[in-house]
Amino acid sequence: MAVRDIHIYPDPVLKQASETIDSFNQATDELVQDLIDTMVAAGHSVGVAAPQIGVNRRVAVVDVSQSKQGRENNHGLLIMINPEILERSGAKAIREGCMSVPDYTGNVTRAEEILVQFFDRRGMPRVIRATGFEAIAIQHEIDHLDGFLFLDRVSSLKTDIFRRKKH
């Protein structure tokens, strides 16, 4: 029940792999609530992962329903505990930024469609198929749980139309 400060790189918490949640207790529930509160307080950003509030646990929240890009196609508020991507297909590039890496953006290519498995707030297993912007947001947040930033995923500098293609 608290809005937490967003940790900014080079805080080492952002570059560590997070630990799996093995019990759904009050501490887990409070972490989830803090993530939601922090996401909403940050001008309703589309997601926050636990390392961004300084906690190396595999928990992230995603909600693209309030954003222009995700409004039409989403699962609402997703609370993802121990999420794992089971399948990926397609590719979609967008320019990403991150609250933990201020003042920098880069073109990142991610899967356009994913099948993702996770536990919800009550510890119930769920599997969803996400596409488009929501899929990208989920991949960005799960990357945080593995210690990756979008800086590790930048696929091109500016307009890559001028680059030679690989055949």
Q: Which residues bind another protein (CB under 8 A)?
A: 45-47, 67, 69, 94-99, 105, 133, 137, 140-141, 150, 158-159, 161-162
Q: If DSSP codes are grouped into helix, strand and coil, which group holds residue 32?
A: helix
Nearer to another protein, 89 or 105 (CB): 105
Question: C-beta of 47: minimal distance to another protein in Å?
Answer: 5
Calpha distance 157→102 (Å, rounded): 18
- Of 40, 65, 85, 41, the closest CA to residue 133 belongs to 65
Nearer to another protein, 23 or 159 (CB): 159
Nearer to another protein, 4 or 29 (CB): 4
**Cross-strand pairs, 7:** none
Cβ contact 133:73 at 8 Å:
yes
**Cross-strand pairs, 85:** 116
Nearer to another protein, 29 or 69 (CB): 69
Question: C-beta of 35: minimal distance to another protein in Å?
Answer: 13
Contacts of 12 (CB under 8 A, 6+ apart): none
Candidate list 87, 96, 113, 141, residue with the active-site label: 141
Burial of 149 (0-12, 13-18, 19+ CB in 10 A): buried
Q: If DSSP codes are grouped into helix, strand and coil, which group holds residue 144?
A: helix
Question: C-beta of 106: minimal distance to another protein in Å?
Answer: 8
Q: Measured over all CA atoms, what is the biggest interatomic distance in the chain, rounded to whole angstroms?
A: 53
Catalytic: 141? yes
Question: C-beta of 17: minimal distance to another protein in Å?
Answer: 19
Active-site residue set: 141
